[in-house]
Amino acid sequence: MNMLLLIEQILNGLQFGVMLFLMAAGLTLIFGVMGLINLAHGSLYMIGAFAAAAVAGWTGNFLLALIASMAAAAMIGALIELSVIRRLYDRDHLEQVLATFAMILIFSEGTRWVFGSFPLFLNIPDYLKGTVTLPGGIEYSLYRLTIIGIGLAVAVGLFLLISKTRVGMRIRAGENDREMIGALGVDISVLYTLVFALGAALAGLSGALVGAIQSVEVGMGEPVLILAFVVIVIGGIGSIKGALAGAVLVGLTDTLGRTMLPVVFGSFMDPSSATTVGSALASMLIYILMAGVLIFKPTGLFGGS
């Protein structure tokens, strides 16, 4: 494997990680502030993608589609927070798992009911199509670079929001002591709805961004959901910094594992079984990574006690 290819694969890993971060940021925020395990986060990702596909289909405008994805996910997020989710905050994790699992069923089949059983079309806008040549002669997809850019911008935005603004202060206070912040006269239920809608909007945005280069179909949210959980657990639950670190770590591990492992095994096995064993191990790699991290750091890389 030559150097240029390796750098390109590292970029790919980074890009995959950033996509996961968008999804994981909302999940970890919701967990950190409200203590809620939200399995329906994958459904919000799917809703974002479908909303974007529908709006892009009507208007042909990708930017509008992205806005629609965030708006739709935030709206539905706020709606379920007000009607169901807020009843779950003081329940134990088990009941949260069951309730949000039930919501996956409702959202998946509801989406299929509205949009039909076949995947929808959503494509990259013309101005983001094609490749650019990076220094060193690497040809890289402009759209993927854009995703990396958006993801990092969101990361910075979230850091600023949490460390510099009033809302951020309340969020931090809420993470530390829920009763205390209520006692201080902050309307905690509005704060919760806002945080949930923000997390939902991020999930919706990432669904739309990813939907443009992947498949917009029912059930697209669950595999990503599992990966996002892996990410936030590796990073330490509740920590945005941890989510970013975890996402990049998972992205790099998966991408590099996929490409390098068959090569590594090929150096001492015959090619066809090296491919089989290498790809089998590659598909288990991020889970091995996660188990490894937790065994040595039981609360993740950036988690508190």
Partner 1 sequence: MNSIFIKQTIKTIGAASALALGLTAPVLADGHGGKVKIGLITTLTGGGAGLGVDIRDGFLLGIKQAGNEGIDVIVEDDQRKPDIAVQVADKMIQSEKVDIMTGLVFSNLALAVAPATTAQGKFYISPNAGPAQLAGRGCHENYFNVAWQNDGPHEAAGATANKMGMKKAFIFAPNYPAGKDALTGFKRMFEGEIETELFTKLGQTDYAAEIAQMRASDADGIFFFAPGGMGISFLKQYADSGIDLPLVGPAFSFDQTILPAVGDAAEGVLNTAQWAPDLDNDASRAFVETFKAEYGRIPSIYAQQGFDTASLIASAAAKADVKDTDAFRAALREADFVSTRGKFSFGNNQHPIQDFWVRKVVKDGDIFTNTAVEVAIADRQDVYAADCPLKW
Partner 2 sequence: MFQERTLDIFVLLILVIVPASAVVTDEPFTITLATRAVIFALAGVGLNLALGQGGLVSFGHAAFFGVGGYAMGILASHAQNYTPIMETPFLIEGTNSMPVIWLVAIVSSGLVALLVGALSLRTSGVYFIMVTLAFGQMFYYFTISWPAYGGEDGLSIYVRNQFPGLNTLDPIQFFGICFALLCIVLFLVDRLNKSPFGLALNGAHQNEERALTVGINVYRLRLVAFVISGAITGLAGALFADLNRFVSPTMFSWQISGEIMIFIILGGVARLFGPVVGAALFILLEHVLGGLSDYWFIYLGVILLAVVLFAKGGIIGKLAKREAGHGQ
Q: Which residues bind partner 2 (CB under 8 A)?
A: 31, 37, 84, 87-88, 91-95, 97-99, 101-106, 108-110, 112-113, 226, 229-230, 233, 237, 276, 279-280, 283-284, 287-288, 290-291, 294-295, 298-300, 303
Binding residues for partner 1 restricted to 235-274, rule: CB under 8 A:
255, 258-259, 262, 271-272
> Using CB distances below 5 to 8 A depending on partner kind, what does residue 165 bind out of partner 2, partner 1, none?
none
**Nearer Cβ to partner 2 (154/293):** 293
- CA–CA separation, 190 and 170 (whole Å): 11
Which residue, 39 or 52, is less far from partner 2 as judged by CB? 39
Which range, of 158-166, 200-208, 215-223, 294-302, touches partner 1 by CB under 8 A? 215-223
Strand partners, 138: 134
Residue whose CB is less far from partner 1, 218 or 230: 218
DSSP the chain: --HHHHHHHHHHHHHHHHHHHHHHHHHHHHHHHH----TTHHHHHHHHHHHHHHHHHHH--HHHHHHHHHHHHHHHHHHHHHHTGGGTTTS-HHHHHHHHHHHHHHHHHHHHHHH-SSPBP----GGG-SEEEETTTEEEEHHHHHHHHHHHHHHHHHHHHHHHSHHHHHHHHHHH-HHHHHHTT--HHHHHHHHHHHHHHHHHHHHHHHHTTS-B-TT-HHHHHHHHHHHHHHH-TT-HHHHHHHHHHHHHHHHHHHHHHHHHHHTTS-HHHHHHHHHHHHHHHHHHHHHHHHHHSTT-SS---
Residue nearer to partner 2 on the CB measure, 148 or 301? 301
Closest separation in Å from C-beta 259 to partner 2: 16
Q: Does 54 bind partner 1 (CB under 8 A)?
A: no
- Is residue 15 close enough to count as binding partner 1 by CB under 8 A? yes
Contact flag: residue 109 with partner 1 (CB under 8 A): yes
> Binding partner of residue 268 among partner 2, partner 1, none, CB under 5 to 8 Å per kind?
none
Stretch touching partner 1 by CB under 8 A, among 10-18, 66-74, 175-183, 238-246: 10-18
- For residue 279, the minimal CB distance to partner 1 (Å) is 4
Report what 294 binds from partner 1, partner 2, none; CB cut-off 5-8 Å by kind.
partner 2
Residues 286-305 that bind partner 1 (CB under 8 A): none
Span from 138-146, 154-162, 177-185, 290-298 in contact with partner 1 (CB under 8 A): 138-146
